[in-house]
Copies of this chain bind each other. A is one copy, B any other.
């Protein structure tokens, strides 16, 4: 049970809130507004999908009688989509219910005035739909193949680099920035490593809190993650097929496991020098405005001799987002920079085929041809000038107010 786990000083808190504050009052207000905006998005999901279904029904009824007659299955399928949305809303309501007081050290107060709630944007709704698909990726049997392609290579490297017959793995600290719904971090913790996930998005944080702390019975809950996809369906029933979760009981970690999730911006939260044996990034580094800020942070927080494991594409989230810094580097650029920092590449594979929240029945599939590497921060670092630069010139990461890049294609 999460309550027990939170009380266990060794397990750490599942959630801590560690955002560095700058202009405290305004910052807190913006954060509170953002929190409630995302809560509102969860709550207005049903309305949004119903509007979409109503539009589709209206358009169908505008067809000639002859056309309607040769399409006997369309309206019943739309009715089924509406039912599935109702069911999804029940899950989302449960997620929200458990999110309102989820942080140990921050409260977001009450909704100032519920009537002030603005209709959620398409942008937020798309984020929410992506979040629903994350349940498949991280916590369903249907996501197993995807996890095998994305998480397994990382886990295998950790086990190879820190084998349990040579290390007290409970002393090996692993950090997972961009932890999503937490499965990768959870799997690493299950193997006995000390593992912390970090996540910035409230969509993800609410959902991972729900799965990790409020779900126990295997495959007891149902979501319909594909109902929002009206294109590229072979069978109509592909759109409304269910997935069950969680495929494992997230509460089944041994009692002495050191597993935690921390909310906040990776660059801001992690400032303590040289305290991690391993940082593992999976589909994460392209979420940066400037990926070198992530490299800076990883370099700083890794212990000498520590390793950075990375797997993912370079689908920069802020590309084409107005008024946002977006530095789009090739892998070659990033690699060149990493060598200048002093990283030593120990493993490098330039073509690992993976998917990301794939709908396996869809007529369109996104295949990521990922880069995978293990790069070590040397124990002794002779690159004196650069090192000095890093220590002296590393400004406090510029405070970034809440902003969100584009969706990963799912």
Indicate with 1 or 0, residue by residue over A23-66, a CB within 8 angstroms of chain B CB atoms: 00000000000000000000000000000000010011011101
Select from chain B the residue with minimum beta-carbon distance to A356.
B364
User: Distance (Å) between the CB of A230 and the closest chain B CB?
Assistant: 4
User: Distance (Å) between the CB of A374 and the closest chain B CB?
Assistant: 18
Contact A73–B369 (Cβ < 8 Å):
no
Select from chain B the residue with minimum beta-carbon distance to A317.
B231
| A115 located at the interface, meaning its Cβ lies under 8 Å from any Cβ of chain B in the complex | no
Indicate with 1 or 0, residue by residue over A374-402, a CB within 8 angstroms of chain B CB atoms: 00000000000000011001010000000
Contact A364–B286 (Cβ < 8 Å):
no
Contact A292–B60 (Cβ < 8 Å):
no
Contact B331–A234 (Cβ < 8 Å):
yes
User: Distance (Å) between the CB of A323 and the closest chain B CB?
Assistant: 11
Given contacts A64-B393, A333-B74, contact A230 B350 (CB under 8 A): no
How far, in whole Å, are A256 and B350 apart by their CA atoms in the complex? 51
Select from chain B the residue with minimum beta-carbon distance to A409.
B364
How many residues on A have C-beta within 8 angstroms of the other chain's C-beta atoms?
61
| A15 located at the interface, meaning its Cβ lies under 8 Å from any Cβ of chain B in the complex | no
Of A104-112, A198-206, A336-344, the segment with at least 4 beta carbons within 8 Å of chain B is A336-344
Contacts of A393 in B (CB 8 A): 64, 66
Contacts of A362 in B (CB 8 A): 369
User: Distance (Å) between the CB of A408 and the closest chain B CB?
Assistant: 10
Q: Which residues of A contact B (CB under 8 A)?
A: 56, 59-60, 62-64, 66-67, 69-74, 77, 230-236, 238-239, 286, 290, 292, 313-316, 319, 325-333, 336-337, 340-341, 350, 362-371, 389-390, 393, 395, 409
